Every structure is written in structure tokens, then in C-alpha cells.
Amino acid sequence: MVILNANDVLPTNADGTLRMVPNTDLFYLSGIEQEESILVLFPSAEDERMREMLFLRETSELIAIWEGHKLTKPQAMEVSGIRSVHWTSDFPRILHRLMCEAQSVWLNTNEHKRAVVEVESRDVRFIRDLRSRYPLHDFRRVAPLLHTLRVVKDPLEVDLIRHACSITKAGFERVCRFVEPGVNECDVEAEFAHEFIRRRGGFAYNPIIGAGKNSCVLHYLENDQVCRSGDVLLLDVAASYANYNSDLTRTIPVNGRFTRRQRQVYNAVLRVLRASIAGLTPGKRWSQWQAEAEDLVAEECVGLGLLKPKDLKVKVTDPSKKPVKKWFMHGNGHPIGLDVHDLGHMNQPFAVGWVMTVEPAIYIPEEDLAVRLENDVIITENGPVDLMADIPIEAEEIESMMK
């Protein structure tokens, strides 16, 4: 039996709460986004009605007044396709009956390798309670199975990611027409917000909008400085739609014209991006793909005067000590989907249906200059397909659009 819980509505201060963020595993399996929901899958249950069940928070007139509409049972059936829908008040009674029948119980936790989990989740509380009440059961991890399932996108998922990419394109083109010396980074963020929201999208992640020296900060989030003539403006901003995300990075000249040096660095990164996209082939491992990107960046850094030819021949036992890491210190891409850094076993070979970001970069803090470029790409049997191929990226395209 598999049991999954919705995410908590997280508190802030006083009586404040954050906006509900759906549990993406629960949403993936059911289409349900509502708080306090529980999904139970028990294919071998003796009673057929208990093989697939959804439990929902029961609404009331008071809840409707203060919080708005909640799903009725018929609506939940229509959304999820699940025929057995119950209120959460029925869950303890039904759970005990099922636990008496089940031999193994598969439970969920956040097993993303980069997750830093400091707040106890609803899943973790549920696991602790269930293990204390039923200590003789065989408890197992459902997360590895969901990683395997979710990393391969079906056509409907790809369509939703494509739509998120189209909203991102509209936002980026709006910003290119808006940016000029003297605007504030927060003004640029507002332009993206306007375009995303009017198209029924939202920010896929906290936008990174860094001008000049701020472009060299990988996760710059302040977005409150003036954009000055002669600086580049790094835009790591993308839209989400129907819980599916896109991820875009572009680097543009604040005054509409790249300097000679900026263009050199820009074109170097663009060449690596295109080679890395072409390298997304089934069967290749992420570690090999990453190493290929680092070698390409290193070669470009020699041409830019950042490394010497002898640096390319340095042998290191620790990959993090490679000379190129000074200028390109992060991963070249990651799976994307319901989560921006989506689930997937990155120690396994790439496969058809994976959607990957590709995001090479060169950072030169001494020159207050960084260029990062990023597109979203699906791996297919016939080669990689760039889902952002229609979003301007050539230096000439950027300059033309900014005119």
C-alpha cells in the first residue's frame, strides 16, 4: 500500500501563512492540489473500492467564506479520475482496516539529493505516527519509484512545459523592449510579473536579475540596484504554468549594445550551450556530459585569456579542483518539470523523455561581468529538441530587439 500526503500550509509570523505549494508527487499521481489531502493506492486490497482512494478536507460555510471554494467529492472524482473519495475524518478508521490487510507500506519523503530539510513535513509526522502504531509492518520508500516515473515526461507534460516556455518568451521580449540605463532591477522584475500573471502563469522560482557585479552572484535575489550603461544584465527568470516549470537565462547589455569584450564572452558561452544541447543523447551519463561542458568552457577561457593552454593539461583527482572551476563552478543542467530542480536519478543514463535545462556560464568578477545562457531541452529518439529555440539568443538578435 502507498500513502502520500499533501504539503503543509506553512506559517510565517503572527497569524500569517505562506501560499499553499502543492505536493508535486501527490499532484503527479492524482491532479489534486488541495491542502490536507491524502492519496492511498492499494492495488491488492480485497475490496476493489479500496484499491485507489482519495481523502479530502471537508468544507463548510465558514471555510467557504474565509478561504473560498474547496473540492466536493464529485469534483474531486472528475479532477482525479478516482472513484472512491472520502473526507479526511474517515481516514483513521479506513486506514486501520487497510493496515490490518497490508504487508508492506510505501511512504514518501523528500529525497532530492540537494534538499535541505529543516522543517518537519506532514509526511514525516505521518511516518513517525504510523511506525509507532504499527511497528511490525514492512515500511518502504516510495521516493525512488517516483524519481524513476517523474523524470520521463509524457506528451501532456511536455505540452505544459512548452506553454510555460511560451509565457517566458513573452516576458523576456517585453523586458528587452523595456531595459535601458537607469532602470532598477526591481522594475525589470515587475515587467516579468506583469507578463507572466496576465498569461495565467507565475514565477517558476525567485527571479535572479543582476546587473554589473551582481551578475556574478549565482543566486542573487535582492533585485534592487540600478542598471547602468556599460553593464550586462543577467536574467535568470522563467514562468510556471499549471504547476509545470520552465527555466530560462539570458544576459543582455543594459544600453542595448554589447561591448567587444562582452560579446567575446557571450559568444563563447553560446558555443558551449549549443554543443551541450547536441550532447544530450540517450545513454550518456550526467557526469560525462558535465565533464564535456567543463572542457569546452576551459577551451573558451583560454581564448578569452582567463586560462593558459597548460591549464587544460592539469591532472586532478578531485574534479572540483579543475582550473576551469574558477570561471564555471556549477552544474551544466538538471531535470525540470513539476519541480524546477525536478526528480530524477542523475547517476543513471539520460533517456528519451527527459527534459533537461542546459546552462553553461563564464563568471569574471574582476570585470563585473558574467554571462549565463540557459534553455530547456527534451531528449528524443531523433535527437534533442530545444523547447526554447524560438526565444532570441544570438547577440545580434538581442541588440536588435532592444532597439
Question: Can you give the CATH number for the domain in which 53 is found?
Answer: 3.40.350.10
Domain extent at residue 44? 2-151
- Look at residue 317 in the predicted model and tell me its pLDDT: 85
- At 283, the amino acid letter reads G
Judge if 235 and 341 occupy the same domain: yes
**CATH number of the domain bearing residue 266:** 3.90.230.10
Structural domain ending residue among the three candidates 120, 151, 182: 151
Structural domain ending residue among the three candidates 151, 168, 200: 151
Judge if 144 and 277 occupy the same domain: no
Judge if 12 and 100 occupy the same domain: yes
* 120 burial type by CB count under 10 A (0-12 exposed, 13-18 middle, 19+ buried): exposed
Judge if 147 and 11 occupy the same domain: yes
pLDDT at 214 over 90: yes
**C-alpha cell, 205:** 522560482
Percent share of the chain, pLDDT over 70? 100
Structural domain ending residue among the three candidates 104, 119, 151: 151
- Look at residue 193 in the predicted model and tell me its pLDDT: 98
The string of DSSP codes covering 89-124 is GGHHHHHHHHHHH-SEEEE-----TT----S--HHH
Provide the strand spans (E) within 65-213.
84-87, 104-107, 138-141, 202-203, 208-211
Confidence category of residue 176, pLDDT binned at 50, 70, 90: very high
pLDDT at 138 over 90: yes
Percent share of the chain, pLDDT over 90? 96
pLDDT at 40 over 90: yes
- Look at residue 320 in the predicted model and tell me its pLDDT: 85
- Is-contact 106 140, C-beta < 8 A? yes
pLDDT digits (tens, 9 = 90+) for 126-136: 999 999 999 99
pLDDT at 346 over 90: no
pLDDT at 47 over 90: yes
Average pLDDT estimate for 356-382: 98
Distance from the first to the final alpha carbon of the chain: 60
Judge if 116 and 174 occupy the same domain: no
- Look at residue 319 in the predicted model and tell me its pLDDT: 85
Judge if 64 and 129 occupy the same domain: yes
Judge if 134 and 232 occupy the same domain: no
User: Average pLDDT of the chain?
Assistant: 97
Q: What is the DSSP-derived secondary structure letter of residue 265?
A: H
Angle between helices 260-278 and 286-303 (to 10 degrees): 160
Judge if 164 and 313 occupy the same domain: yes
Number of domains in the chain: 2
Judge if 355 and 215 occupy the same domain: yes
pLDDT digits (tens, 9 = 90+) for 315-342: 888 888 999 999 999 999 999 999 999 9
**C-alpha cell, 141:** 520508500
- At 136, the amino acid letter reads L
Judge if 171 and 320 occupy the same domain: yes
Q: Which long-range contacts (CB under 8 A, 24 or more apart) does 7-14 make?
A: 7/35, 7/121, 7/122, 8/35, 8/121, 8/122, 9/35, 10/119
Confidence category of residue 268, pLDDT binned at 50, 70, 90: very high
Judge if 137 and 240 occupy the same domain: no
- Selection from 342, 345, 349 nearest residue 379 by Cα: 349
Judge if 162 and 147 occupy the same domain: no
